[in-house]
Chains A and B, each alone.
Chain A
Amino acid sequence: DVKVTQSSRYLVKRTGEKVFLECVQDMDHENMFWYRQDPGLGLRLIYFSYDVKMKEKGDIPEGYSVSREKKERFSLILESASTNQTSMYLCASSIPGNVEQYFGPGTRLTVT
């Protein structure tokens, strides 16, 4: 079974703090993704990565950055958290040639 884990299920941070969301997958997948999920908007792609040290902007990258130093780990960074970044963040992974993505349980981030 593919397992995608996220470091926290719930997180509360203050405005202006630097926030790290960690995602780890154990199936040697090359592709990894970060989405945010908001009511009525579905999932929106923030960043994705095809391989170690590679990253591509998704549809809403503003205010975020990512890091992929190891194949199994993909980190989402909020350099200076703002209240409009309060959301559910979902990580996913996939293998090239198979568009199906496997999702982690999500991190519900609240920025106050």
Chain B
Amino acid sequence: AQSVTQLGSHVSVSEGALVLLRCNYSSSVPPYLFWYVQYPNQGLQLLLKYTTGATLVKGINGFEAEFKKSETSFHLTKPSAHMSDAAEYFCAVSDGDSSASKIIFGSGTRLSIRP
């Protein structure tokens, strides 16, 4: 069975500071990993995904994440926070890309940006 743990339900950083949102996963097979973002009153939007290949994945809006198999982690980072980054972020894991594959979502981390 797969699972995702997001450490910290709420993270607050100053504008211009480093953003680090933590995600650890559990999977019995090589995982597909995702970060989604949800802005207020909107649906989820894909930030980035890891399937195979390069372990450092770059996404939209300057975010990136690194797949570390030895640590079962997929932390999301951005070097310099912007006010527009305030949103809820979800880490997710899937066991593949077949029609039978499902995505398991973490409980979410709300990111606040202080002026």
Interface positions of A (Cβ within 8 A of B): 4, 9, 30-31, 35, 40-45, 48, 50, 58, 90, 92, 96-106
Contacts and interface: CB of A to CB of B under 8 A. Distances in A.
A100 B49 contact: yes
B98 A96 contact: yes
B46 interface: yes
Given A101-B103, A105-B43, 19 more contacts: A30-B99, A40-B9, A42-B105, A43-B44, A43-B105, A44-B105, A96-B99, A97-B97, A97-B98, A98-B97, A99-B97, A100-B46, A103-B43, A103-B44, A103-B45, A104-B43, A105-B41, A106-B41, A106-B42
B44 A90 contact: yes
Given A42-B105, A48-B102, A50-B99, A100 B44 contact: no
A44 B106 CA distance: 9
A9 B43 CA distance: 11
Contacts of B107: 40-42
Number of chain B interface residues as a range: 20 to 34
20 contacts: A40-B108, A41-B107, A42-B90, A42-B105, A42-B106, A42-B108, A43-B44, A45-B102, A50-B99, A58-B102, A92-B44, A97-B98, A99-B94, A99-B103, A100-B34, A102-B46, A103-B44, A104-B43, A105-B41, A106-B43
